[in-house]
Amino acid sequence: MMNVFFVGAGPGDPELITVKGQRLLGQADIIIYAGSLVNPALLSLAKNGAAIYNSASMTLDEVIAVVEQGVKENKLVVRLHTGDPSIYGAIQEQMDKLAGKSIAFEVIPGVSSFLATAAALKQEYTLPDVSQTVIITRLEGRTPVPEKEKLVKLASHEATMCIFLSVHMLDNVVKELIDGGYPAETPVAIVQKASWPDQKIYRGALKTIAQIARENNIDRTAMIVVGKVLDTNYALSRLYAPEFGHMFREAK
């Protein structure tokens, strides 16, 4: 029987967890959730008597020990991660430890915050003639970023960029992006706490956004989006053009 599930909690709004994730949360005997970014409202889905752990104060080995003990007692364990667990979720090390102990598990995906950010902005990231690529990245912090992936190098593509974990280093973000090739006028949006009740949206350009962020004290959970897609000029999608046939519709 499958007893261990890594579940994506979604970006904040408790209705943005998957149906499967919601069901598992309600059935779990043990829930280990990832600290401050998981909306506590999700924990109210837990059944009476479920044991709830905040992993923010736990080491990797402590987390694994709780999972292992739960499995021994044939309990259902949910490891709840913010957004989608595959993005900056530090789940690989957990999964590898479990695999090393021959503990089976499954991963239930979630709505990542960069997608909730697009929804908040009412923005498509992939506009014809503007950008067909989304780069998900971060500025180096305590976690190193490989040399070839430094912002200054990625910037040369001028693609749509979603930058996690970096809003507190916005001056450096801006410098690297401009040094790397984005014009200083390139539009930027910052969405703080996308999908939460206190969600906030700030818009500017590379050359103005650091000042805007300072004036508004943006230093918490926020996504930086950069790219010309945030401007309004783009070519219409070929998908719905009358003369453009495809598998499900003949050209006129």
Dihedral pair phi/psi, residue 116, rounded to 5°: -65, -30
**In the range 121-160, which residues lie near ligand SAH by CB under 6 A?**
none
Residues near ligand SAH (CB under 6 A), total: 24
Decide if 138 contacts 88 (C-beta within 8 A).
Answer: yes
SS (H, E, C) 200-244: EEEEEECCCHHHHHHHCCCCCCEEEEECHHHCCCCCCCHHHCCCC
In this structure, what DSSP letter does residue 72 have? H
With CB under 6 A as the contact rule, which of the stretches 58-66, 93-101, 169-177, 218-226 interacts with ligand SAH? 218-226
Alpha-carbon torsion (244, 245, 249, 252), positive or negative: positive
* Residue 83 found at the interface with ligand SAH (CB under 6 A): yes
* Residue 87 found at the interface with ligand SAH (CB under 6 A): yes
* Residue 37 found at the interface with ligand SAH (CB under 6 A): yes
Q: Which of 32, 191, 209, 230 binds ligand SAH (CB under 6 A)?
A: 191
* Residue 189 found at the interface with ligand SAH (CB under 6 A): no
* Amino acid code (one letter) for 149: E
With CB under 6 A as the contact rule, which of the stretches 69-77, 83-91, 93-101, 244-252 interacts with ligand SAH? 83-91
Least distance (Å) from ligand SAH to the CB of residue 222?
A: 5
* Residue 39 found at the interface with ligand SAH (CB under 6 A): no
Please choose, from the candidates 28, 139, 162, the residue with its C-alpha nearest in 3D space to the C-alpha of residue 83: 162
Token digits of residue 132: 């067909």
Q: Which residues contact ligand SAH by CB under 6 A?
A: 11-12, 37, 81-84, 87-89, 112-113, 116-117, 164-165, 191, 193-196, 221-223
